[in-house]
């Protein structure tokens, strides 16, 4: 079971109900830094810890989605490597994107978790059953969060959430 909520605006946070973990990319899966060379090549740094957590979530049957305000080749490549089933890029209205995805998947808000770090993530965080933020998020995202991770963005914050979600899953009995 996950530890007691570190911040709660909702009467009960039901981690076991979550069927979709959706998140922003820049500032959540990365430290928010985008490196662009003089030739226009973009690079980002993604945490291996986060990647393994997302792979394990997918294996446990929890759907994952990345919803980014900007389109990025680096994001596309990393999502393909991790087999992220839902990649939405170039959408600043994160709430609408999350609601559309949840409707396609026939999921209620209580079955969705959303992690973001900026003002444009706050409405999606509030709508979802669990709203999450890394500690360095902007004030609007921190105010909308029901849970703030101990680890920073791009350095295991997503993995921390994955571990909390996996802890609520029934593990097979050992022989």
Residues 26, 31, 37, 43, Cα dihedral to 10° = -70
pLDDT at 171 over 60: no
CATH of the domain at 90: 3.40.50.1000
Residue 173 lies in a domain: no
Beta strand 112-115 with 86-89 is unpaired
| Cβ contact 128:147 at 8 Å | no
Residue 58 lies in a domain: yes
Residue 66 lies in a domain: yes
Collapsing DSSP states into helix, strand and coil, what is residue 49? helix
Parent domain of 65 = 15-167
pLDDT at 58 over 90: yes
pLDDT at 72 over 50: yes
Residue 19 lies in a domain: yes
The CA distance from 29 to 152, in Å, is 10
Collapsing DSSP states into helix, strand and coil, what is residue 67? strand
Beta bridge partners of residue 60, listed in sequence order: none
pLDDT at 40 over 90: no
Residue 2 lies in a domain: no
Residue 109 lies in a domain: yes
Residue 9 lies in a domain: no
Question: The pTM is what?
Answer: 0.90
How confident is the model over 141-170, as a mean pLDDT?
95
Categorize the per-residue pLDDT at 5 as very low, low, confident or very high, splitting at 50, 70 and 90.
very low
Q: Where are the beta strands (DSSP E) in 86-139?
A: 86-89, 112-115, 130-133
Place of tokens 């409707």: 103
Helices (H), 12-65: 48-59
Categorize the per-residue pLDDT at 6 as very low, low, confident or very high, splitting at 50, 70 and 90.
low
Q: What DSSP designation does 146 have?
A: S
> pLDDT digit string (tens) for 88-121?
999 999 999 999 999 999 999 999 999 999 999 9
Categorize the per-residue pLDDT at 12 as very low, low, confident or very high, splitting at 50, 70 and 90.
low
Residue 74 lies in a domain: yes
| Cβ contact 110:129 at 8 Å | yes
- Length of the chain equals 175
| Cβ contact 154:136 at 8 Å | no
What is the tally of structural domains in the chain? 1
pLDDT for the residue 4: 35
């Amino acid at each position: 079971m996950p530890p007691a909520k570190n911040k709660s605006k909702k009467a009960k946070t039901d981690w076991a109900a979550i069927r979709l973990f959706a998140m922003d990319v820049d500032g959540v899966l990365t430290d928010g830094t985008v490196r662009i060379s003089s030739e226009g090549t973009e690079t980002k740094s993604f945490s291996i810890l986060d990647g393994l957590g997302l792979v394990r979530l997918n294996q446990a049957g929890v759907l994952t989605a990345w919803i980014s305000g900007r389109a990025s080749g680096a994001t596309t490549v990393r999502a393909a490597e991790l087999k992220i089933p839902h990649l939405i890029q170039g959408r600043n209205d994160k709430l609408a994107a999350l609601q559309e995805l949840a409707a396609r998947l026939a999921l209620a808000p209580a079955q969705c978790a959303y992690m973001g770090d900026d003002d444009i993530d706050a409405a999606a965080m509030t709508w979802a059953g669990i709203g999450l933020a890394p500690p360095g998020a902007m004030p609007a995202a921190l105010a909308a969060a029901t849970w703030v991770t101990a680890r920073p963005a791009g350095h295991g914050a997503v993995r921390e959430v994955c571990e909390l979600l996996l802890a609520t899953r029934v593990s097979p009995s050992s022989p």
